[in-house]
């Protein structure tokens, strides 16, 4: 980016792209809801007594599945404003993860808090971070400090839910670089979708990132939902993917015969999207549960 474009982006606000009226394919949505409800029911056996999914990325996937309706005691992984990857809180100490928590885990928590309208969760999280130099946990420094985007997002949520308008942090410009892939692209879209649901619009840069990711992965229902919300409003494609893709079977939970990862939306469309006989594993379908729940959230609000 040239020096003039950088200055222009600061001086001249970007034009906003508003959420468009939604075209709702009710028959498809009913089928998706039925599948989502089945996945929630069937995945109970995979979860611990608090409703958490296995693995050290549990806080993220469990939070997102809770947005879709999975019953969870998310606070089992919380100590005041401090959060951990799992209720056992031993991922870092046991060497299974490089940190006690990370920003992407907390992005799931923010989605959960916003969907449940629980302002206290966001206030406690932000106040803990602020009181510790914006360090949210122990371990790899690249994972455990809030970025400017996350600081602004926290204070925007608090303001949206009727709390304090922290003008200092809310005026921080959000940055959405191009070229991200995999889990970084997924996190970018999670932030953009949350802002879109709160504000009813996104900036041109956010819209550009939506188009970039949706065009690169036509099978990613979450990315297709984001594109539909700012283009034609037609929810057919994002719902049809949840019904028709073999990665989301109708009569049982996803397993290693149809995919190789728990959560598809953070993966590029490569080997993880396909089955493998190298190991036997059953997945909860948290990706479908979240995407279907998000569709319902946008429909109910707009």
- Report pLDDT digits (tens) over 99-121: 999 999 999 999 999 999 999 99
Whether residue 68 contacts residue 40, with contact meaning beta carbons closer than 8 Å, is answered with yes
Nearest C-alpha neighbor of 121 from the set 161, 150, 87, 148: 161
Q: For the segment 153-162, what is each residue's pLDDT rounded down to a tens digit?
A: 999 999 999 9
Q: Is the dihedral of CA 54, 58, 63, 64 positive or negative?
A: negative
Burial of 278 (0-12, 13-18, 19+ CB in 10 A): exposed
Domain locations in the chain as residue ranges:
15-301
pLDDT range class, residue 11, cuts 50, 70, 90: very low
Q: For the segment 43-64, what is each residue's pLDDT rounded down to a tens digit?
A: 999 999 999 999 999 999 999 9
Nearest C-alpha neighbor of 87 from the set 119, 114, 51: 51
Crossing angle of helices 148-160 and 119-131, in 10° steps, is 140
Q: How far is CA 233 from CA 55, 126, 159, 227, 295, in A?
A: 36, 34, 27, 8, 11
Q: How far is CA 130 from CA 79, 136, 141, 144, 171, in A?
A: 16, 9, 16, 13, 16
Q: Is the pLDDT of residue 7 over 90?
A: no
Which value, to the nearest 10 degrees, does the dihedral of the CA atoms of residues 271, 272, 276, 281 take? 170
End-to-end CA distance of the chain: 36
Nearest C-alpha neighbor of 39 from the set 242, 270, 266, 241: 242
The full DSSP string for 23-62 is B--HHHHHHHHHHHHHHHHHGGGGS-TTSPPSSTTHHHHH
Whether residue 135 contacts residue 113, with contact meaning beta carbons closer than 8 Å, is answered with no
Whole-number percent of the chain with pLDDT over 90: 93
Buried b (16+ CB within 10 A) or exposed e, 228-257: bbbeeebbebbbbbbbebebbbeeebbebb
pLDDT range class, residue 220, cuts 50, 70, 90: very high
The CATH label, of 3.30.1490, 2.60.40, 1.10.3470, 1.50.10, for the domain at 15-301 is: 1.50.10
3-class DSSP state of 80:
coil
The full DSSP string for 121-145 is HHHHHHHHHHHTTTB-SSB-TTTSB
Query: What's the pTM value of the predicted model, to 2 decimals?
Result: 0.94
């Amino acid at each position: 980016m040239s020096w003039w474009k950088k200055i222009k982006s600061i001086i001249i606000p970007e034009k906003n792209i508003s959420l468009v009226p939604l075209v709702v394919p009710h028959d498809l949505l009913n089928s998706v809801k039925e599948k989502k409800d089945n996945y929630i029911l069937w995945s109970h056996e995979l979860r611990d007594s608090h409703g958490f999914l296995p693995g050290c990325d549990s806080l993220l996937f469990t939070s997102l599945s809770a947005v879709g309706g999975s019953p969870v005691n998310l606070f089992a992984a919380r100590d005041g404003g401090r959060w951990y990857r799992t209720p056992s809180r031993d991922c870092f100490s046991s060497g299974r993860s490089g940190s006690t928590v990370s920003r992407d885990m907390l992005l799931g928590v923010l989605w959960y808090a916003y969907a449940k309208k629980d302002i206290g969760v966001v206030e406690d999280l932000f106040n803990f971070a602020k009181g510790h130099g914006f360090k949210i946990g122990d371990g790899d420094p690249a994972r455990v400090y809030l970025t400017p985007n996350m600081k602004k997002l926290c204070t925007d949520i608090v303001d949206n839910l009727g709390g304090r308008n922290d003008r200092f942090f809310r005026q921080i410009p959000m940055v959405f670089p191009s070229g991200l892939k995999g889990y970084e692209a997924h996190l970018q879209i999670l932030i953009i979708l949350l802002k879109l649901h709160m504000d009813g619009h996104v900036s041109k840069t956010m819209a550009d990132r939506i188009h970039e990711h949706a065009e690169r992965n036509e099978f990613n229902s979450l990315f297709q939902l984001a594109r539909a919300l700012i283009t034609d409003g037609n929810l057919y494609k994002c719902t049809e993917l949840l019904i028709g893709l073999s990665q989301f079977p109708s009569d049982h939970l996803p397993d290693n015969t149809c995919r190789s990862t728990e959560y598809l939306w953070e993966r590029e469309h490569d080997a993880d999207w396909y089955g493998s006989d190298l190991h036997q594993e059953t997945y909860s379908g948290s990706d479908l549960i979240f995407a279907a729940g998000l569709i319902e959230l946008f429909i109910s609000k707009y």
